[in-house]
Amino acid sequence: MASIYFAGVLVGSLVFGMISDWIGRYYTYFITVALFLCSNLAVAFSPNIIAYGVFRFLVGMADLPCFLVAFVIGTELVAPSYRTVTGIGAQFFWPVGSMLLALLAFLIRDWFILQLVMTIPLIFPFFLIPVLKESPRWLISKGRFDEAEVIIQDIARVNKTKVPEPLFEEGEKKEILETNQVKQATVLDLFRTPTLRWRTLNMMFSWFVNSIVYYGLSLSTSDLGSNDYVAFFLSGLVEVPAYIWCMFGIEWLGRKPNLCVFFLLGGIACLCTLFFGK
């Protein structure tokens, strides 16, 4: 069933990634949350294994895209100098959620009730409908300058600052519109030039390897030989210092050294486990 779930993640990431560029981050986010909520409820009431597999696929379709769209909204709302802190800071909810799941699973031994309890928090994002705003950067890229200006003015008012008047010069608007009309970037553009092509393949391979190791370790915490609930709780807890380091280490040492060093340390640590029994 884990494979079915990750097949949904694959499809959802591709589909909702394109949809978010088409209709915007705001609507895509709430669509994925709605799908996430409904599919998780359906999992709880699955009448048979086939239905369970279908609904788990839909959960996967909504799960990662829901996070990715929220991540994009958050990072597009802040200045480039704050994107590292904003992006990494959002990751803290992942290990916190893992630790809470371990605690809930320990306290609630009935699978059906546990599934419903895990689904309840998905109701709360809908309270953000009147509060959350569309990404101004996406609006600008689509030539919707008036809507973007209203949101930016709201942000400036909350931050007690001022924005230039007018916010967008006519020359800037014309340049952005002309750029968008000349050529729309696609996934294929990542492979058109030799340098960009090798960097893209490198990052794809790095993400592939990282995901295999991360989920391989996370899904096999029961092999540690201790209490399953404690092992899963600790697997979330050890991520907290990693995120704390990332928030500052990336700014201090840069992305490439951090990536290389921790890939190397992770690989050595995994190899060392071969010399220890259960």
Q: Kindly state the tokens that stand for 136.
A: 């101004």
Cα distance between residue 65 and residue 36, in whole Å: 10
Give the model's pLDDT for residue 31.
94
Q: Which residues of 249-273 are buried (b: 16+ CB within 10 A; e: fewer)?
A: bbeeeeeeeeeeeeeeeeeeeeeee
CA atoms lying within 13 Å on the CB side of residue 95: 17
Q: Across residues 106-135, what is the average pLDDT?
A: 91
Tell me how crowded residue 61 is: count the other CB atoms within 10 A of its CB.
25
Task: Indicate the pLDDT class of residue 3, thresholds 50, 70 and 90.
Answer: confident
For the question of whether the overall pTM of this predicted structure is more than 0.75, the answer is yes
Task: Indicate the pLDDT class of residue 56, thresholds 50, 70 and 90.
Answer: very high
For residue 209, is pLDDT > 70?
yes
Cα distance between residue 129 and residue 86, in whole Å: 21
Cα distance between residue 132 and residue 121, in whole Å: 17
Contact indicator for 94, 41 with CB cutoff of 8 Å: no
Burial class (CB in 10 A: 0-12, 13-18, 19+), 225: exposed
For residue 231, is pLDDT > 90?
no
Q: Which of 58-72, 98-112, 222-236 has the lowest mean pLDDT?
A: 222-236
For residue 170, is pLDDT > 80?
no
